Structure 1
Amino acid sequence: MKITVVIITVCFILITIAILPLPADQKNFPANFKEDAFKHIEHICSLGIRSTGTPVETKTIEYVAKQLEKTGLKVNIEWFEFTNYAADRFTLHAAGKTYSPTMVLFNPYLGIFQFQGELCIYDPDTTDLNKTDIRDKMLLTVETANPFALMGRNPQLVIMVTKTDFDRLKSQMSTAFKLDIQGKMKKYKSANVVGILAPGKKKEIILCAHLDAYDSPGAGDNASGLGVMLELARYFKTMELQLPCQLKFIALGAEEIGALGSRIYLEQHKQDLKNCELVFNIDNVGGTQKIAVETKGSMGGISPVKGETQFPAYINDKGWDGANRKWKILCPALIKAFTAADFPDWLCLIIKDTVKELKYDARFVGPLGGDGQIFAQAGIASTSILIKVNEAHTLQDTPDKVVKKSLEKAGKLIAFVVLKTMNRLR
Structure 2
Amino acid sequence: MNLRKKAVLAAGTLLRRDFRAIAGAFGGGERGGLAVLNDRLVKARRLLPEYDAACAAALKGSGALASMEDFRRLPLMGRAELAAYSGRGALASLKSGGTGSAGHVETRLDTGAVAARYAALLAVLETAGWRMGDKTAALHPREYAFFENLPARLAAGKFGGALFEFFQQYLLYRLVHNRKNVYYGGGIFSSPEAALALAEAAASERPVLLITRPDALMAVLRALRGRALPGFDRLKAVLTVGTALGDTVRAEAQERLGAEAFNMYASTELGYVALSCPRSNGWLHADQAGHILERAGDGELVCTDLDNALAPVLRYRTGDIGELAEGACACGTRGPLLKFRGRKDRFTDAAGGRLYEAELIDRVFGTGLPFFQLDAASSSILLPPGAGEKEAAAVREALGLLPGAYGAVGAGNLKISASGKFCFLP
TM above 0.5, yes or no, is no
**Higher RCO, 1 vs 2 (CA within 8 Å, ≥6 residues apart):** 1
Higher Rg of the two aligned structures:
1
Query: What is the TM-score with the length of structure 2 in the denominator?
Result: 0.23
